[in-house]
Amino acid sequence: MNPTSPIKILIADDEVYMLRLLEMTFKKGGYEVVSCRDGKEALVAAAAALPQLIVLDVMMPGLDGLGALRQLKENPATRDIPVVVLSAKGHALTKVEAEVAGAVLFLAKPFSPNQLLGEAQKILAPKNP
């Protein structure tokens, strides 16, 4: 990877307003953004773009975010990409399901865009040995 190329973040949310908010938040942070409207589109885009971070909404038509997360973790090409899960259903069961499926972070909606950006920056920070 070219060190001057921006870090790529894939976001998937079926709500246009939320998708635009996430796009603006990550672009403001200096990231390149790939946007998707559902889980199936996210799987195809993740395999093609190989982003450094994926942000998935849980409730999407067709393949939901948890189903997409499970499939991403089963695919050798995408299994090591950290995934953040967002959900309007902030109850404990959804959080546990997301963590069991392999999410590095679960955020309940509504959340602060700056909080999400800060969490993404922590996840993407280079790891010191």
What pLDDT, in 10s, does the model give residues 37-94?
999 999 999 999 999 999 999 999 999 999 999 999 999 999 999 999 999 876 677 8
The overall average pLDDT reported for the chain is 92
Backbone angles phi, psi at 30, to 5 degrees: 90, 15
Cβ atoms of residues 58 and 96 within 8 Å: no
- Quick one: 128 exposed, middle or buried, by C-beta within 10 A (0-12, 13-18, 19+)? exposed
Res 128 pLDDT > 80 = no
Backbone angles phi, psi at 111, to 5 degrees: -135, 165
- How far apart CA 79 and CA 124 sit, in angstroms, is 16
Across 24-36, average pLDDT: 97
**Quick one: pLDDT at residue 1?**
45
Res 120 pLDDT > 60 = yes
